[in-house]
Amino acid sequence: MNAHVFRRVCEALVPKLLGARLEKIHALAADVTEWRLYGHGRRFHLILRANRRDPFLFVADRRVPVGTEPPSCVMRLRKYLIGRRVSAAFAHWIARRLWLRFIPETSIQLCLDLREGATLHWQAPEEACAEPLWPAPEKLPILLADPEAWRAWPVLSPSLRRVLPLLPSSEQAALLADLEAGGGDLFVYENPDGPPELSAWPLPEPLRAGREETAYGDPLAAATLTGERLVLPDLALDAARRASRPHTAEAARLERLLDKLNREEARLSALSALQADALALQAGLYQFASGDKLAEAAIETPGGRIIVRLDPRLTVRENMAALFHQAGRGRRGLALLAERREAVRAELEAARGRALLAGGLAPVCEAGLGRAGQSGRAASLPALPKGVQAFRSSDGLLILRGRDARGNLVALKLARPDDFWLHAEGAAGAHVILRNAPGREIPERSLREAGVLAALKSPYRDAGTALIQCARAGHVHPMRGAKPGTVRVDRHEPGLTVRIDPDLEVRLAAR
């Protein structure tokens, strides 16, 4: 988010912030915080991603599920700010900082910095209130030729310096005058294969690169659209990594165990191979006296002479018995080891599958909707826990359904916060998880198919229609001390009425 876009967003955001009460502060990721405020009769969520690479500030349409435990800096912000109302707000837009004052009156001020994050101050610097200087249009050719001109004229941001040389001199002056006056539309550029870009001016064709342009008179709406597609998918991936971490650790443990079993197989195979030495010693036992103690024995066999190494502390007969005993141990160990290794391999595949599913990396079409059929056939799913069934919607989205109460709990654990949870209204039945493509809307067809799958695993199976309740998985929580599969839903999405289709399970079953 460049400074000029930040200025437009703040112009629309400041009136919304005035008088609003700060209710919650959450850390959604290492560099993303959510500020939940209530003002002007409604609750809204301010999302700040603060870093030096791709910072962004926008108002989210809905609550974003909390991703991490609050760090100490967030706890400090909560201590001083929770419950206070915003009394004043002003933007030092050239530095991309938004300053907030609160009531009851205190000397503490909050600075939302797009590069450094949120910090508390006891006094705003004087330059925060100063308006930046704008160059005269006739100076632009000289300034654009000087790579260090932005230091004296910070209004010439990197994105603006990239655009101005592509415009005629008359349009350069007009654009600079429009930016100095403030106001105006914001422009969103997007294509199906890349992230959207938010601009405070129309991009020339060389920079547009065939992307679709949409002008927004409401800067908050433009920032929300762009921010949700830029920030929320990264949050979903971050949540997916945390969700997959225990399964990845379990898979790593099983891999180490499998390596240990492979080493044990080599040892037992070496013991089992002693059977040949024992048989050779048995066949040539007549060549030695009963009390002979040797370091090695040369045995004449029909195939030629072989050398058998012996324990010199034991007699030849005792060595033969020891070799037979060790070979027997090796054979018995290999038989048990084969069974154990197959069990560990099965556990390893299941753990890898759970890591893939919890991490949102199941090979189904999740990044783009409606593209599952482009490759001709979908890839097979990794191994799932026994209590969970997998389906693919007609749009290629992954659907998980619990087979029983414990399977319901496992399916919920595999869900990401932004996934959809569905269940038959007012009846016992399966919990169904519909994987959501981060930052995109769920297709109505997929949602209804998931609802039918929930109804087919409920008392409504033989009915004509069923009422299905829906919620985001981040708002569904298992209840402590209750039976497995019992959950608490903090916030519902609009419900569905679906028509029962008994053949849907067979058509959508994942293979």
Residues 68 and 243: their CA atoms lie apart, in Å, by 11
Residues 360 and 256: their CA atoms lie apart, in Å, by 25
Predicted local confidence at residue 284, as pLDDT = 83
Quick check: helix, strand or coil at residue 373? helix
Task: Note down the domain range covering 63.
Answer: 3-129
Predicted local confidence at residue 164, as pLDDT = 83
Predicted local confidence at residue 356, as pLDDT = 67
The CATH number that applies at residue 15 is: 2.30.310.10
pTM: 0.60
Question: Could you tell me if residue 195 is inside a domain?
Answer: no
Residues 142 and 163: their CA atoms lie apart, in Å, by 15
Predicted local confidence at residue 363, as pLDDT = 36
Q: How confident is the model at residue 372 (pLDDT cuts 50, 70, 90)?
A: very low
Residues 152 and 174: their CA atoms lie apart, in Å, by 21
Helices 232-272/219-230 angle, 10° precision = 0
Rounded (10°) CA dihedral 358, 363, 365, 371 = 180
pLDDT tens, residue by residue, 52-110:
888 999 998 777 766 567 888 889 888 888 888 888 888 888 888 898 888 876 678 88
Predicted local confidence at residue 378, as pLDDT = 41
End position of a domain, from candidates 129, 161, 190: 129
pLDDT tens, residue by residue, 422-448:
998 888 888 999 887 655 677 888 889
Of 418, 356, 416, 396, the C-alpha closest to 510 is 396
Question: Could you tell me if residue 390 is inside a domain?
Answer: yes
End position of a domain, from candidates 95, 129, 163: 129
How many domains does one find in the chain? 3
Give the percent of the chain with pLDDT over 70: 90
Strand partners, 98: 91, 112
Looking at the predicted structure, is the pLDDT value of residue 357 above 70? no
End position of a domain, from candidates 111, 129, 147: 129
Residues 392 and 216: their CA atoms lie apart, in Å, by 36
Predicted local confidence at residue 228, as pLDDT = 82
Asked if 352 and 391 sit in the same domain, the reply is no
Pure H helices in 378-475: 405-413, 444-456
Predicted local confidence at residue 389, as pLDDT = 85
Sign of the Cα torsion 250, 256, 260, 261 reads positive
Question: Could you tell me if residue 428 is inside a domain?
Answer: yes
